Amino acid sequence: MQPLSITTTKLCKSVPYGDGARAILSDVSLNVRASSITALIGRSGAGKSTLLRCLNGLDTIDSGEISIAPKSETQQRLDVAMIFQAYTLLSRSTVLQNVCLTITLQGTTLTDAHTQKAMQLLAEVGLSDKANAYPSELSGGQRQRVAIARALMLDPGLLLCDELTSALDPKTTVEILALLKRVNKDHGVTIILVTHDMDVVKEVADTVCVMDNGYIVEQGSVIDVLIKPKHAVTRQLIDATTGGALPAFISDRIQANQAPNADVVLKLIFTEESSTKPIIAAVATTFNVCFSIIAGSLDNLSDQHANHMFGHLWVSCTPNDKLEAAIHYMTDHGVGVETLGYIVWE
Ligand SMILES: Nc1ncnc2c1ncn2[C@@H]1O[C@H](COP(=O)(O)OP(=O)(O)O)[C@@H](O)[C@H]1O
Ligand SMILES: [Mg+2]
């Protein structure tokens, strides 16, 4: 199966609610390139799982269009595989039988070729020695590996993963995400991954789509969205992960209104490209805007990206009439700038 691309146009879905209806998905227009890893991120209840189920045909839409390309002879359902947070393995079947389940569920009789293929997939996910084990004998990470092998049995062109790593510890999460990247590369399969964790996005995705309240509020390359988050929810999700947030003893003192003697507080976001230029020095000499550094952090992006590092720097300065020009200068030179508010230093 070749990798599939998927486009949705203005998907809407609502559910009955009291006398009326409640919107779950509103005008969802999503673009997923073939062979990409797209992360679908948002807070709990945003509509991510519902959208995945609609893409897979497990749930119906009220209006809009879903188009998957290239169209194939076989049923669309078979070209799209799905993995959930709950491992959904049969407890009384062995690992090998679980991997072959997709074949037997279709009513196809298992052949030696199927078994061989299942064994090869188990080798790929590092579980050759567990073929005859039962799910209860496996760790959470190992069960998720079985689920991945099973999903690959029918050579899907699109793999949908719903909170695949949410129940796993950080180390196992990194291992499973590495496996997904390998599967994406070796099998050329397009992956859509639902998560509420920006660290997962940074680790594995090349494109990200942010959902809130049934809407897509932001969509773009991971690096662009991380550097220039447009929506408040995106900023919250970024801040919730390590390095995103300002220490509370400072953020608690930042005010929206400018008091006399107040300094303005900015958050600067550097990429590899902008971090090698003397931008802060240039701003000081050209615009007479001198920054005090409040806090800083460095972050790492997955090796799918051209830029590997990016950093946050929180600074304050006495506002002057050139501040706006200084901010323009910085954004022109690839630095993301967010004005957080005002602070009075005692
Ligand atoms: N079948 C359903 N009937 C009623 N409400 C539903 C149904 N499915 C989902 N919802 C509601 O739709 C919203 C989105 O749910 P979901 O897609 O599970 O969000 P997420 O996966 O982003 O946490 C939630 O408020 C949820 O309660
Ligand atoms: Mg969900």
Q: Output the six-digit token pair for 166.
A: 């949410």
CA distances from 80 to 9, 69, 113, 289 (A): 19, 12, 22, 54
Cα–Cα distance measured from residue 308 to residue 298, given in angstroms and rounded to the nearest whole number? 11
Cα–Cα distance measured from residue 81 to residue 158, given in angstroms and rounded to the nearest whole number? 6
Identify whether residues 18 and 60 lie together within a single domain: yes
Cα–Cα distance measured from residue 54 to residue 194, given in angstroms and rounded to the nearest whole number? 13
Q: Separation of 60 CA from ligand 1 center, angstroms?
A: 13
Q: Is the CB of 47 under 6 A from ligand 1?
A: yes
CB 262 within 8 A of CB 339: no
Q: Is the CB of 46 under 6 A from ligand 1?
A: yes
For the entire predicted model, the pTM comes to 0.84
Any domain includes 232: no
How many structural domains are present in the chain?
Answer: 2
Identify whether residues 158 and 279 lie together within a single domain: no
CB 289 within 8 A of CB 320: yes
Residue where one domain finishes, among candidates 227, 255, 276? 227
Split at pLDDT 50, 70, 90, the class of 80 is confident
Considering only CA atoms, which residue is closest to atom 14 of ligand 1?
47
Identify whether residues 276 and 337 lie together within a single domain: yes
pLDDT, tens only, 127-154: 999 999 999 999 999 999 999 999 999 8
pLDDT, tens only, 256-275: 988 889 999 999 988 777 77
Q: Is the CB of 24 under 6 A from ligand 1?
A: yes
pLDDT, tens only, 190-203: 999 999 998 899 88
Burial (CB count <10 Å: 0-12, 13-18, 19+), residue 177: buried
Whose atoms come closest to the Cα of 60: which ligand?
1
Residue ranges with strand state E in the chain: 5-17, 20-28, 31-32, 37-41, 63-69, 80-83, 158-162, 190-195, 207-212, 215-221, 263-271, 292-300, 309-317, 336-343
Residue 165 has pLDDT above 60, yes or no: yes
Report the chain's mean pLDDT, rounded to a whole number.
89
Split at pLDDT 50, 70, 90, the class of 84 is confident
Q: What is the predicted pLDDT for the residue at 308?
A: 64
pLDDT, tens only, 20-35: 999 999 999 999 999 9
Identify whether residues 312 and 206 lie together within a single domain: no
Identify whether residues 94 and 183 lie together within a single domain: yes
Residue where one domain finishes, among candidates 204, 227, 250? 227
CATH of the domain at 286: 3.30.70.260
Whose atoms come closest to the Cα of 23: which ligand?
1
Q: Is the CB of 48 under 6 A from ligand 1?
A: yes
